[in-house]
Structure 1
Amino acid sequence: MSGRGVNIHATAIVVGTTGLVFIGPSGSGKSMLAFDCLCEARLHGQFAALVADDQVFISRFGTHVVASRPETIKDLIELRHGGIARIASIPRALLHYAVVPVIRGEAKRLPPEKARETLFGEVSLPALHVPSDLRLPFSFINALIAS
């Protein structure tokens, strides 16, 4: 691992004090879900910021997992079929959950209890499985976090 961490293909955001990293293959809806969460949280008066889109440096400090951005993509998010958008970002954030976009017709009805997603090596986070076509993803994520 370099001083900046391990570079993974993901999107990281923070809403309030909760750090979320959206993981999955290219085209799975990571960026759009993250963008929708940012917009919805801001509409409800919550602090929300992008950390990084497409490339996220992941580091572990004791039991904490931290996401940081490459400066070359500061304030940029790719919205598939819409282009590159500018959105305020912060340089780093603690991560609490890995958000996994799923396709409703292909996913199991209920994810495994206490599911975790590995980011790299032995670094993992509790997993939140979220339908990629969900209209209000942050409300859905909030409900999962609160349970």
Structure 2
Amino acid sequence: MTTSCNIHATAIVLGTSGFLVTGASGSGKSALALSLISQARRRGRFAALVADDRVDLALENGQIVARCPPAIRGLIEIRGAGIAAVDIVPACILDWAILPVKAPYEPRLPPEQERLQLQVGDGLPMIRLPVEGALSPLDALLAILPEKLGL
């Protein structure tokens, strides 16, 4: 196992928790990250981008730390509209992985104690988060992790 790597993902902080948004290209990682950040900020909570599209991961003191490669620091892609500059934090400890999912939901219920395996550390607990429909992504996340989100 390596102690550092660079992966295709998006990293954000919501409240006191770090999230790695993962999935295939075009699955809605950046849009989900922007939505979660803006919804949290509208509620008066702390939220920020760490990195979009490429994330540097390092294992430090047993924790997975996310950082942004310098060339894309402070930038996020809004698919179909272009690249936007946003506020960032330089790094975060990752607590969870989020996989954006769209209907039809197969499987309907995610596997119990699902984890995202990474090249560093023991991986991260995975949350499958719906990205379309009437429920806002932040409301869904708050329902799934009510006391752990720090919001």
What does the per-residue CA deviation read over 1:77-121, in whole Å, with 9 as the maximum and x for residues that have no partner? 001112111110111001100000112214211101111111225
Determine the structure 2 residue equivalent to 1:139: 139
Deviates more, 1:41-50 or 1:114-123: 114-123
Could you state the TM-score of these two structures normalised by the residue count of structure 1? 0.91
Question: In structure 2, how many angstroms separate the alpha carbons of the residues matched to 1:117 and 1:73?
Answer: 24
Gaps of 5+ in 1: none
Alignment of 1:1-147 (within 5 A): 1=2, 5-120=4-119, 123-134=122-133, 136-146=136-146
Q: CA deviation at 1:136?
A: 1.4
Question: In structure 2, how many angstroms separate the alpha carbons of the residues matched to 1:126 and 1:31?
Answer: 20
Q: Give secondary structure in 2 for the equivalent of 1:24.
A: coil
Q: CA deviation at 1:146?
A: 2.4
Question: In structure 1, how many angstroms separate the alpha carbons of the residues matched to 2:143 and 2:58?
Answer: 27
CA contact (8 A) 2:62 2:121 kept: no
The percentage of counterpart residues that share the same residue type is: 41
Query: Structure 1 runs of 4+ off > 6 angstroms?
Result: none
Instruction: Give the partner amino acid of 2:80.
Output: H
Gaps of 5+ in 2: none
Aligned pairs, number: 145
RMSD between superposed Cα atoms in Å:
1.7
Could you state the TM-score of these two structures normalised by the residue count of structure 2? 0.89
Larger strand percent: 1
Deviates more, 1:70-79 or 1:59-68: 59-68
